[in-house]
Amino acid sequence: MDKEKYSKLKLKAIELRKKGWSYGEIKKEIPVAKSTLSHWLKTVPLTPEYRERLYTKQILMCARGGQSQRERRKKEIEKILKEAEKEIQLPLSFEFYRLIGAFLYWSEGSKTSGFAFSNSDPHFILFMIRWLKKVFGISPKNLKAWLNIYPQQNDLELKQFCS
C-alpha cells in the first residue's frame, strides 16, 4: 500500500474514532488489522459519552457470550455450505462417491477389528449405509448397529431417533 493511501486510511480511522466508533466498527470500514488501528488510535481521546457507549456495548456482548458465538458459527456454516453448493456438481459420479466413502471410512472406520465405523452424526451414518449399498451391494438389512447409551441419556428417545 502506498504512503498516500495509508495516510488517508489512518486519517479516516482517526475521524471515526473521534466519533466514538469501536475498533471493530472501524475495521469494517477500513481494511487494516486491529493491531494497526490500535497503533494509530492509541492517543485519540474518547469523550466520556463515547467511552460509556463502548463499555456498555462490550458488557452486552459479554452477556450474550455463548449465544453470540453460536449465532456467528451458524452464519459461518451457512456461508460454507452455500459456497460448497456452488462447487459440487450433482449428481456425483460413481468414482467420486466411492472415494468420499473411502475417505470417510478411513477417518471414522475401524483399523483393527474388521469392517466397522462409529459416529453419532445421523447424516454420516445414513451416507455410509447408502455407500455400502451402492458401492458394495450390501443391503442395510445385513448390517448390525450398536448404540451406546449413557445413564444421563433417555434411552427410549435415542432408540426412536436412531431407528
In tens, the pLDDT along 73-94 reads 889 999 999 998 888 888 889 9
Residue found by looking up cell 456461508 in the block: 79
Render pLDDT for 95-130 as a digit per residue (tens, 0 to 9).
999 999 999 999 988 888 788 888 888 889 999 999
Number of CB atoms found within 10 A of residue 30's CB: 16
Task: Tell me which amino acid residue 48 is.
Answer: P
Q: What is the DSSP letter of 119?
A: -
Domain that holds residue 57: 3-86
Q: State the pLDDT confidence band at 3, using cuts at 50, 70 and 90.
A: confident
Residues 80 and 106 in one domain: no
Residues 41 and 7 in one domain: yes
Residues 63 and 45 in one domain: yes
Residues 156 and 94 in one domain: yes
Residues 102 and 148 in one domain: yes
Q: State the pLDDT confidence band at 25, using cuts at 50, 70 and 90.
A: confident
Q: State the pLDDT confidence band at 138, using cuts at 50, 70 and 90.
A: very high
Picking from 112, 130, 123, 115, the residue whose alpha carbon sits closest to that of residue 161 is 123
How far are the Cα atoms of 19, 100, 109, 110, 125 from residue 119, in angstroms, in the given order?
Answer: 52, 16, 9, 11, 7
Q: How far apart are CA 7 and CA 35, in angstroms?
A: 16
Q: What is the DSSP letter of 142?
A: G
**Where does 4-100 show beta strands of DSSP type E?**
none
Residues 103 and 137 in one domain: yes
Q: Which of 67, 86, 105 is the last residue of a domain?
A: 86
- C-alpha cell belonging to residue 2: 502506498
Q: State the pLDDT confidence band at 134, using cuts at 50, 70 and 90.
A: very high
pTM above threshold 0.75: no
Residues 50 and 94 in one domain: no
Q: For residue 148, what pLDDT is reported?
A: 84
Residues 112 and 55 in one domain: no
Q: State the pLDDT confidence band at 66, using cuts at 50, 70 and 90.
A: low
Q: For residue 46, what pLDDT is reported?
A: 84
Residues 80 and 93 in one domain: no
Averaged pLDDT for residues 44-57: 82
